[in-house]
A and B are shown apart, each in its own frame.
Chain A
Amino acid sequence: MTITLIPDQPESPTNRPPSMHRLRTWLRRPYARHILIWTVVIGFLLLPLAWLMLAAMNQTGAPASEIMKDIEQTVFVFTIVSIPITAFVFAVLLYSLVGWKQVSGDEPPMQDSPAIRTNRIGVILWTFVSSALAFFLVVWGLIELAQITANSYGTISADQQPGDNNSVIVNVTGQQWVWTFAYPQHDGIVSNVLYLPIDKPVYFNVTSKDVIHSFWLVELGVKIDANPGAITQTGVTPNKEGVFNLRCAELCGMHHAYMETEIRVVSQEVFDAWTREMGGMRTS
C-alpha cells in the first residue's frame, strides 16, 4: 500500500470514525468473529491439559514438600497463561487452512490474495501482549525462584547450617552407581536409603566421588548436581509421609539407569528408632 502525504490538508481528528465504530466494523466481518470463536473453543479444549499435567506429576505421591507445590503451581500457571496464545495461533492456522479459501492443482492460483503488508494495531497489540506475558512469566519465575531458594535453604552455606535438633543435615555422596547418605548429627551413620523425618528442615551437602551425578528427589521437587571436587547445597522440608523416589538425573556411566534409591519420609519417632538401630553400624 503506497501512502501519499497530502500536506495542505490539515489533520482533523473529527473526521476519524470513532474507535468503537471501527471495532464494530471489524467485528462484523465473519472471519474476525470466526477466529474469536475458534480461539475460545480451542482454548477450552486445551484447558484440561493444565490438570492432566499435574495428574501425571502427582502419580507417585507428589507434592511431598512446599517446593514441589511451588513447582506444580508454576506449571499450572504457565499452562493457563500459554493456552490463550496457543489457542489463537492454532485458530489462525486452522482457519486459514479450512475456514478461508483454498485452492489446489498444479498451477499457481491466478488470483492473488489481498496485499496485507502490515497492520499497525495488530503489531502493536501483539508486541504489547507478548511482552506483557513474558514480563509476567519472568516476574512470576523470579518470585517463585526466590521462594524455592528459601525453602531449600539455598542461601545458607555449609558452615552456617545449624547442627541443632530442629533440623537434619545429610551429607550426600554420589558414586558410580550408588548413593550413600551420612548423618553427621547422628554419630555419622551411613545409609543407602534416604530416611527423612517429616516436617523438619533437611540440609543436603551433595558431592560426588567420581563423575557428575544429579541428586533428584522426584516427589519432593529437589534437584542438584553432585559434582566431583565440589559440594553443592540444597535442602527441603518434607511434609508428607511415604516412600518416594530418588533418581540420578545426569548420565553417569553404565548403570546410570539403576542409580536410584528410595526416600522414606517417616515420623520423628520412627526416624529416631531408625537412627538408634543404625547407631551400632558406625563406619570407621
Chain B
Amino acid sequence: MGALLADVAAWFGDSANWTGAAGVPNRVLEHLQYSIVPILLALLIAVPIGAAVGHSGRGGFLVVGVANGMRSLPELGVLTILVTFMSVGLLPVTIALLILAIPPLLAGTYAGVSNVDRAVVDAARGMGMTEPEILTKVELPNALPLIIGGLRTATLQVIATAAIAAFVGVDGLGRILFSGLAVRDYTRMAAGALLIAVLALLADAALAALQRLIVSPGLRTSTSSRRRAVVAPAQPEQLPQSRSTTPEPELARS
C-alpha cells in the first residue's frame, strides 16, 4: 500500500496531469458542468411539486412510492439506455442525471412540508395568512432541513453517476479513471477515484455549510436526512396499548 500511495502521490505531482484538456482542472470543470445543470433543473421541478403535494396532502403515497422505487433503478442502466436511444453526448447524460436527482429532492421536499407541525400551520392560517403565504413563509422555511437533505442526497448521486457517465462516452473525472482502466494503469485509476471522492466530499460539505447558513436557528435540532435517507417511515411504530388483561408484573426474580 505504501508503494501505491507513493505512485498516486507521484501522479498528482506530475505537472503533465494538470494541464490541457485531460488535466485535472479541466476534468473537474467538466464534472461540475455535467453535475450542476441537472441539479438545478431537478430543484426547479421537484421542489414545487413536492411542496404542492406536501401542502395539499394529496398524492403523498405516489411521491414516496416513486422515490423508493427509483432507488432500485441502476444508474448504469439509466445511462446506457438513454445513450443507446439518443446518441453519445451531453444531452442523454444530463437527462439521466436529472432522472436520478429528482426523487430524493421530491421526497425530501414532500416529507419536509408535510411534517411541519400542524399547530404551526393552523396558527399561520389563524393569523390570516393566505395558502400561498403559508406555503412560502411557514411551510417551506420549516421544511428546509429536509429539502437540503434531499439536495445533498441528489448532489452525491449526480456526482457519482457523472463519473460513471465516462463509460458511455463523455469526459469529466470519470475519464481519468476509465482511461486508467483501459490500460490497466491502477495508479491513474486510483487518482481518478480519489478526485471523485474529494469532489463528492467537498460538495457535501459545501451544502452542509449552506444548510447551517440558511436554516432558521429555531430548527437546528431537527435531524437533517442524510444521503438516501429512509423515505419509509423512520419513526418507530407505536407500542400497542397495554390491555386490561396485563398480568401482574413479577416483582422478585432471583
The reply to whether chain A is a binding partner of chain B is no
Interface residues of chain A, those whose CB is within 8 Å of chain B, are none
Interface residues of chain B, those whose CB is within 8 Å of chain A, are none
